[in-house]
Chains A and B, each alone.
Chain A
Amino acid sequence: MWKKESQRTAFAEALVELGSRRKDVVVLTADLSSSVKTNKFAARFPEHHFNIGISEQNMMSIAAGLAGSGSRVFASTFAVFATSRVYDQIRQSIAWPKLNVNIVATHAGITVGGDGASHQMLEDIALMCSLPNMTVIVPCDALETKKAVKSAVDYNGPTYIRLGRSEVPTITKEKTPFKIGKATVMKKGKDITLIGTGIMASQCLLAADELEKEKIDATVINMSTIKPVDKKTVIKYAKETGAVVTAEEHNIIGGLGSTVSSVLSENIPVPMKRIGIPDIFGESGNSEELMEKYGLTSENIVKAAHDVMKRRGVERT
């Protein structure tokens, strides 16, 4: 039903677009230009692209030096090397001085597939959300990736943009509005709120279709910014539906689910359930198998919806 497209290709196209209209954009990578696809930008704007070799720590601090001087920097590598490998460099050189460095991390999550646990970054959202000044964006599809990259260039302060390796269903439209810090309501319903991020936003839509067959009317929210999270939208729909399910391709600790549950418990404590990776490392396999094995599926979201609705009670109309 949905077309599947690559977020990395979208990133590459957005960079080339930016490069052709402004001179202050600089792109860095660490011996992964062909994987993260900054090579498209490099081919067009060779002077503005630096391959730093396999030295991610060095890359992050160089990014800081460029940004401190006036460049708008995109530093891109795999999510595992873009976060845990360089947490201190991001903390000290980039986040503390609030520099305009956009870290675009590809190959995030379990859907990396065959490379297995060493490359399946499932803790990156948690790491990046815990950094003051950092903005954390998880686009749900290729179109949204483009919009995120283009919005990030003039955003004040560092951003972390999380992309997957595999092609993902395009669930937004060209004209779907995108704003950093603003959730998108994909569908409105009165019975339950499903909040997804990244690839799990499409699973939430599928779950909503399933629920509809049972006459359960779900709201579906695509939470593309995890930090700062769109509290207003979370609270509004939690109030309207009284039950919430979150879904993410990330450790259950420290990601979307944790963020939403904080908002709910401090404002409107309704029953909720989090779908995500249950605090374990990944393993090799193909993406679909892995999604299935770790419960990142619409069926699981449907189950969770039943569960929270039961906890909420039926007296509510």
Chain B
Amino acid sequence: MRNNEIKTLEEKARIIRKHIVEMIYNAGSGHPGGSLSAADILTALYFKVMRHDPKNPRWEDRDRFILSKGHAAPALYAALAESGYFPVNELLTLRKLGSRLQGHPDMRKFPGIEASTGSEGQGLSIGIGASLYAKLNRKLYRVYVMIGDGENDCGQIWEAAMSASHFKTDNLTVILDRNGLQLDGATREIMGIEPLSDKWKAFGWKVIEINGHSFREILNAFDHAKNVKGKPTIIIAHTVKGKGVSFMEGNVSFHGKPPNREEYEQAMKELG
């Protein structure tokens, strides 16, 4: 059962990666690296893990996903379009004047986007707000927040980390996209964040470490997180920035740069 399911997810992720590359190439700007590293996790969330209904995007009991690292918007838009929130051909309007697909997610543009993000460090706190709302109003939905590893440099992340465990937000799961790179270089060189797992544990979180490109590990981690009581869970997903396109993999220069024509063609060929 799960084998077939995983095949389907892998295929979906491949399509989402193609969308990401095409959107950013077509827009002439954007962030391929962190969109590609997040693609598998977003695929798992939108096509397996989360309870949501693209036909009824404001469904009160839907699970919420907040992309705190808002620059990975192309990955989110591709997942939303493939889920049926809007037509796939709208993806090519990314970053164009009048488009709903803003450079960074704008929750007022259409339902399905749960928070406006782009300034790093704020999405986790927003997720805590959504999670407190659920507790206060006896709602059973879960809240998922994706943060970047460079985003761990932000002080507000740690304010949020402290308060989430203080408020026992066990309906909240964070995915940390541990791709090892931020804008200017390796996280190890720009701002050391290790021991990451110990830090989050010390802040009172359940920590799960996985390979963020293995659907088996991703799905198991989300299953596990659902059963953790009394504290929030963070899944530290070890990923490769630019995953799926050979010359973008682990290449910091593709953090925020679109491929040129040749690179675009090469990337699309590699993604099949």
Contacts and interface: CB of A to CB of B under 8 A. Distances in A.
Given A48-B136, A55-B162, A97 B119 contact: no
B167 A50 contact: yes
State which size class the interface on B falls in: 20 to 34
Given A71-B133, A97-B107, A58 B127 contact: no
Nearest to A54: B159
Interface string A50-77: 1011010111111111111111000000
A300 interface: no
Interface string B31-42: 000000000000
A58 B159 contact: yes
A78 to B, nearest CB: 17
B155 A57 contact: yes
Interface stretch (A87-95, A249-257, A277-285, A288-296): A87-95
A286 B106 CA distance: 46
B128 A68 contact: no
B108 A64 contact: no
Given A53-B163, A55-B162, A93-B122, A65 B129 contact: yes
State which size class the interface on A falls in: 20 to 34
Contacts of B134: 69
B16 to A, nearest CB: 25
A26 B133 CA distance: 9
Contact of A64 (B118, B126, B131, B136): B126
A162 interface: no
Secondary structure type dominating chain A contacts: helix
B168 to A, nearest CB: 12
A47 interface: yes
B125 A62 contact: yes
B231 to A, nearest CB: 17
A107 interface: no
Interface string B155-167: 1100110110011
A89 B162 CA distance: 18
Interface stretch (B76-84, B109-117, B201-209, B244-252): B109-117
A93 B116 contact: yes
B122 A89 contact: yes
Nearest to B121: A57
A119 interface: no
A63 B125 CA distance: 8
A69 B155 contact: no
Interface of A: 26, 47-48, 50, 52-53, 55, 57-71, 88-89, 91-93, 96-98
Interface of B: 66, 106-108, 114-119, 121-134, 136-137, 155-156, 159-160, 162-163, 166-167
Which 5 pairs, one residue from A and one from B, show the smallest C-beta to C-beta distance?
Answer: A65-B129, A61-B125, A55-B159, A69-B133, A58-B159
Given A48-B136, A68-B107, A68-B115, 16 more contacts: A52-B163, A53-B163, A53-B166, A57-B156, A57-B159, A58-B125, A58-B163, A61-B156, A62-B129, A65-B127, A65-B133, A70-B133, A91-B119, A92-B118, A92-B119, A96-B106
21 contacts: A26-B132, A47-B136, A52-B163, A53-B163, A55-B162, A59-B125, A61-B122, A61-B125, A61-B126, A62-B129, A62-B160, A63-B129, A64-B115, A68-B130, A70-B133, A71-B133, A89-B156, A93-B122, A97-B107, A97-B108, A98-B108
